Every structure is written in C-alpha cells, then in structure tokens.
Amino acid sequence: AAGVIQSPRHLIKEKRETATLKCYPIPRHDTVYWYQQGPGQDPQFLISFYEKMQSDKGSIPDRFSAQQFSDYHSELNMSSLELGDSALYFCASSLFRVSEAFFGQGTRLTVV
Amino acid sequence: DQQVKQNSPSLSVQEGRISILNCDYTNSMFDYFLWYKKYPAEGPTFLISISSIKDKNEDGRFTVFLNKSAKHLSLHIVPSQPGDSAVYFCAASAHHCTGTASKLTFGTGTRLQVTL
C-alpha cells in the first residue's frame, strides 16, 4: 500500500540558508500534518492543513511557512535556518474526521 | 504544559511476558487516543487506537485500555517479542465542532526493551 512520501530524506544546510521539505500524502488523504522531533524529544506539532487550508497551528516559528497544494501534497519552507532547527521533520496524513494519522519516514535536517 | 504524559521513559520486559505501557492526559477534550511505535530515524508507525466511547480495544497481541475518569490509558503487549523493542508514543486528539480531527498531541515516549 502507498505510504506517506517525504523528500528529501536527508538535508544539510548552513546557517541562514533556506530549505524546502516536501510531503506527498497517502492517496485520497486530504489532511496533512507537520511535526518536528529534536534529539530525545517527542514529536512537536508544527502545522496542519485540510483541503489546502490551514487547520491547526502549533509551535511553528515565523521563519517557517507551509502550504498544501491542489494535489494535496504539502511543502514546509524554512528560512534563516538556525542550528536549533536541526531535527527530524515528519509529515503525516489522514482522512477528514479520522484521527489515525500515518507518518512518512521523515526528513533529517542538519544545520551547520 | 505537557498534556499527554508517559511517566516511564523506559521499560525492560522478558520475551514472552506482558509489556504494559502507561499514559496519562490532562485535557478532557481529548476524545481519541492512539499508540505509535517508533524506531530510530523512522517515522512513527500507527499501532492501535481507541475512541473515548470505549474502554478497551484489542488487535492481536496489542490491547489498549482507557480509563476516562482517571484520564489514563495503557497499552498491553502480550506476549512480548524482541521485535517489539522500540519507543512507544501515546497520542491524543480531539474533534473540532466541525467534525474534523485535531492535531495529535504526543506523549514523551517510553522505550521498550524486550530481552531474551
């Protein structure tokens, strides 16, 4: 069965650079969530989208923005990267009204 | 403010025995609870869930129990197998008045080690 696809799997950026993470949800899933997991921490919710509209906002820095496109894929744009942004970034997708969210393999971002 | 708490950061269980992972929550608006299993550098994998209208849900070796009055849930794995060794996250969500599910709020995780 198709799963959530995230790209790239690994990304190395320098401080103050920008990065774009992509997420392709499971087919027919209309809701996308973004989470950030730092070393030894639980996943922290960043932002979510339903039907291309932002549905929930968590601890997403102002330097980050995200959107969901007409084909339901989502992109997380990160600017002015800081060392503290180094983390695993997970995308998850689900169906409207269904709480079970399925996660991608994540993107490991390293800021040097 | 940690709304979902897993007070045991680690648990070691012998193969064949029962593993019990616990989770407490504070937000009474949560109406759906999930358990995820996570290996290092991989995304969380959905295991089992339970709605707040139930007190038990079973799927093979995995059973989740919900005690709403105590705001407590637990995951039982029996019999435990070495392949179960991973970090287990409890998560909770609430439904908006529109019916859409809210974001998942995760606990801090419990590392389960199943020994031979």
Q: Give me the pLDDT at residue A15, please.
A: 97
Q: What residues in A contact B95, CB-CB < 8 Å?
A: 97, 99
Inter-CA distances, A32 with A56, A92, A101, B28, B52, Å: 10, 6, 9, 25, 23
Cis check for the bond before B9: say yes or no (omega within 30 of 0): no
Dist. CA B91–CA B45, nearest whole Å = 12
Neighbouring residues of B63: CB distance < 8 A, sequence distance ≥ 6: B48, B56, B57, B75, B76, B78
Span A60-109, pLDDT tens digits = 999 999 999 999 999 999 999 999 999 999 999 998 767 788 999 999 99
Q: Which amino acid is at A77?
A: N
How high is the pLDDT of residue B94?
A: 86
Q: Does B52 touch chain A (CB under 8 A)?
A: no
Which CATH number fits the domain that encloses residue A20? 2.60.40.10
Domain of residue B37 covers 4-97+105-115
- Cα dihedral sign, A30-A22-A56-A101: positive
Q: Which of B87, B42, B103, B50 is nearest to A93 (CA)?
A: B103
Domain that holds residue A34: 5-111
CB B21 within 8 A of CB B75: yes
The residues in A 86-105 lying below 8 A from B, measured between CB atoms, are 88, 90, 92, 94, 96-105
Six token digits for residue B48:
């089992």
In order along its 116 residues, chain B shows pLDDT tens digits of 779 999 999 999 999 999 999 999 999 999 999 999 998 878 899 999 999 999 999 999 999 999 999 999 999 999 999 999 999 999 999 877 666 667 888 898 999 999 99
Beta-carbon separation of A100 and B45 below 8 A:
no
pLDDT of residue A100: 86
pLDDT tens digits, A31-45: 999 999 998 888 899
Give me the number of domains chain B comprises.
1
Closest chain A C-alpha to B20 CA, distance in angstroms: 19
Residue A2 is predicted with a pLDDT of 77
The domain spanning residue B23 has which CATH number?
Answer: 2.60.40.10
* pLDDT score recorded for residue B79: 97
